[in-house]
Structure 1
Amino acid sequence: MKKILVTGAKGQLGSELQVLAQNYPQFEWVFTDWEELDLCDLENLETQLNQINPQIIINCAAHTAVDKAESEFELSDVLNHQSVAALAKWSKAHDCKFIHVSTDYVFDGTAATALTETAPTNPINVYGVTKLAGEKACLELNPNSIIIRTSWVYSSFGNNFVKTMSRLMQERDSLNVVNDQIGSPTYAADLAQAIMTILTHTNWQAGIYNFSNEGEVSWYEFALAIQEIGGFDCEISGIPSAAYPTPAKRPQYSLLDKSKIKNTFGVEVPDYKDSLVVCMKIVSG
């Protein structure tokens, strides 16, 4: 029985993998968060990995607080880059399959069409810079790795845009939401399923893959979809990013092209609205 180690198990994706794990009893699952496996403790990481001795690693851990990352470069670099390098190196040495989750923030947002895996990277914030460094280290130290870039992740677990908007729409009469950043949301449960589709596929094809739900929307349009599905009575206005300054710059356009993951592994990519309905049902109980 192959053992799967999942890092960042308390995050949105890690939590969804825990739900999904019961459908895959052919694997032995080990879920760790920082209490069980501290990825910042680089000195002891190898020893801990030797003790767990997985045949597959799914790295969901990251420093994802994009604005905080601007003033926490060191922590971001350890979690998003150096620990990834250590995991990649260990997995290469132990013939362990390695899936690492990355982000659309490796792009600068100046594209006008959906980004393929070979589109030029040029991150514009610390989060993106450290995640790109992690990708490069991963491919250099273990060329047999799979990297999955995703975007705008939400789930019934943790804090995210969907849950925040749902709450605010019930508390307030009106909301302003940025309307000039374009991409596609990702329901973490769908991403978890995509990862398992890859792991149970007969053909392991290393490299970079994109995954998000289908659809091209702004955050404002995403908010309108949340309002419609939730039946919330709140006035929502679209505003430019300039009217809502944040410590970290965001890419203006980061829609991901999913052709490669679909064609290589037969991964199904649901429409963002269909997945949003599923998630909001769970959240509303």
Structure 2
Amino acid sequence: MKRILVTGANGQLGSELAVLSAKYPQYEWIFTNRNKITLNDLDLLKVQLNEINPNIILNCGAYTAVDKAETEKELAFTINHLAVEVIAKYASDKNAKLIHISTDYVFDGSSSIALNEEAETNPINIYGESKRTGEIACLNVNPNSIILRTSWVYSKFGNNFVKTMQRLMQEKESINVVNDQISSPTYAADLAQAMIDILEHSEWIPGVYNYSNEGEISWYEFALTIKELGGYNCNVGGIPSSSYPTPAKRPEFSLLDKKKIKEVYNLDIPNYKESLKKIFIK
């Protein structure tokens, strides 16, 4: 029986994989949080990987506090770069399959067309820089890895934009949301299923792939869709990013082109609104 190690088990994606795992009893699933897999202690991480001895690693664990990363650069790079390198080295040495999760924040936002896997990367914040460095290390150490870049992840688990909007729209009469950052949301359950579909595919084809739900929207338009589906009466206004300054810059345009993953792995990717509806089903 193949043993799958899932890092970041308490996060949105790890939690969705835990839900799906019941449908795939042919695997032995090992879900680890930061107590069982220590991404900020590289020597301990090596020991833990050898103790667990997985055949497959789904690396969902990461440092994801985008704004805090600006002042916690060393920690962000340890987790998002150096720990990824250790995991990729283990996978290479043990001939284990590795799917590593990355981000649209490896781009600078200057594009006006959907970004494919060959598009030039140029991170504009520490988080994006740490994730891009992790991608490079992963592929250098283990070219047989698969890297999935994703964007605007949300789930019924954890903290995310959808949950925040649901709360604010019930608490406040009006809110403002930035309207000049464009991408597409990703329902973590869809991404989790895509990861399993890749594992179940007849052929393992390594490389970088993009995955998000279909659609091209701003955070403001995303909020309007949440308002519509939730039936909230809150007034939602659109504002430029300059009116909502944050420690870390965000790319203005980071829409991902999913053509490659759809063709190579024959994936059917839902529209963002169809997936968002599932959050509102009781």
Looking at structure 1, the residues matched to 259 and 279 of structure 2 have their Cα atoms a distance apart, in angstroms, of 24
Q: Is the 8 A contact 2:172 2:234 kept in 1?
A: yes
In the alignment, residue 180 of structure 2 is paired with which amino acid? Answer: D
Q: How does 1:91-130 map onto structure 2 within 5 Å? A: 91-130=91-130
1:20-47 C-alpha deviation (Å, 9 max, x unpaired): 0001111000000101111111012222
Looking at structure 1, the residues matched to 108 and 162 of structure 2 have their Cα atoms a distance apart, in angstroms, of 24
In the alignment, residue 249 of structure 2 is paired with which amino acid? Answer: K
TM-score norm. by structure 1 comes to: 0.98
Task: Say which SS state the counterpart of residue 66 (structure 1) adopts.
Answer: coil
Q: How does 1:7-156 map onto structure 2 within 5 Å? A: 7-156=7-156
Q: Is the 8 A contact 1:165 1:223 kept in 2?
A: yes
1:196-226 C-alpha deviation (Å, 9 max, x unpaired): 0000001100000000000000000000000
Looking at structure 1, the residues matched to 64 and 280 of structure 2 have their Cα atoms a distance apart, in angstroms, of 22
In the alignment, residue 80 of structure 2 is paired with which amino acid? Answer: N
Q: Is the 8 A contact 1:187 1:279 kept in 2?
A: no
In the alignment, residue 233 of structure 1 is paired with which amino acid? Answer: N
1:209 maps onto 2:193 in alignment: no
Name the counterpart of 2:270: 270
Identify the range of structure 1 (39-48 vs 258-267) with the bigger mean alpha-carbon deviation.
39-48
Q: Is the 8 A contact 1:67 1:246 kept in 2?
A: yes
Name the counterpart of 2:243: 243
Identify the range of structure 1 (40-49 vs 264-273) with the bigger mean alpha-carbon deviation.
40-49
Q: CA deviation at 1:102?
A: 0.0
Q: Where has structure 1 moved over 6 Å in runs of 4 or more? A: none
Q: CA deviation at 1:48?
A: 1.2
Name the counterpart of 1:169: 169
TM-score norm. by structure 2 comes to: 0.99
Structure 2 runs not aligned, ≥5 long: none
Q: Is the 8 A contact 2:54 2:96 kept in 1?
A: yes
In the alignment, residue 131 of structure 1 is paired with which amino acid? Answer: K
Q: Is the 8 A contact 2:187 2:276 kept in 1?
A: yes
Q: CA deviation at 1:183?
A: 0.2
Name the counterpart of 1:279: 279
Task: Say which SS state the counterpart of residue 36 (structure 2) adopts.
Answer: coil
Looking at structure 1, the residues matched to 83 and 72 of structure 2 have their Cα atoms a distance apart, in angstroms, of 16
Q: Is the 8 A contact 1:210 1:261 kept in 2?
A: yes
How many aligned positions are there?
Answer: 282
In the alignment, residue 47 of structure 1 is paired with which amino acid? Answer: V
Q: Is the 8 A contact 2:183 2:256 kept in 1?
A: yes
Task: Say which SS state the counterpart of residue 123 (structure 1) adopts.
Answer: coil
Looking at structure 2, the residues matched to 137 and 191 of structure 1 have their Cα atoms a distance apart, in angstroms, of 23
Q: Is the 8 A contact 1:110 1:253 kept in 2?
A: yes
RMSD: 0.5
Q: CA deviation at 1:247?
A: 0.2
Task: Say which SS state the counterpart of residue 67 (structure 2) adopts.
Answer: helix
In the alignment, residue 251 of structure 2 is paired with which amino acid? Answer: P
1:85-125 C-alpha deviation (Å, 9 max, x unpaired): 00000100000000000000000000000000000000000
Q: Is the 8 A contact 2:59 2:101 kept in 1?
A: yes
Structure 1 runs not aligned, ≥5 long: none
Task: Say which SS state the counterpart of residue 33 (structure 2) adopts.
Answer: coil
Looking at structure 2, the residues matched to 44 and 172 of structure 1 have their Cα atoms a distance apart, in angstroms, of 46
Name the counterpart of 1:197: 197
Q: Is the 8 A contact 1:69 1:127 kept in 2?
A: yes
Q: Is the 8 A contact 2:36 2:48 kept in 1?
A: no
In the alignment, residue 120 of structure 1 is paired with which amino acid? Answer: E
Identify the range of structure 1 (20-29 vs 40-49) with the bigger mean alpha-carbon deviation.
40-49
Looking at structure 2, the residues matched to 158 and 244 of structure 1 have their Cα atoms a distance apart, in angstroms, of 23
Q: Is the 8 A contact 1:156 1:280 kept in 2?
A: no
Q: CA deviation at 1:50?
A: 1.0
- Aligned-residue identity in percent: 63
Looking at structure 1, the residues matched to 131 and 219 of structure 2 have their Cα atoms a distance apart, in angstroms, of 22
Q: CA deviation at 1:280?
A: 2.5
Looking at structure 2, the residues matched to 236 and 44 of structure 1 have their Cα atoms a distance apart, in angstroms, of 47
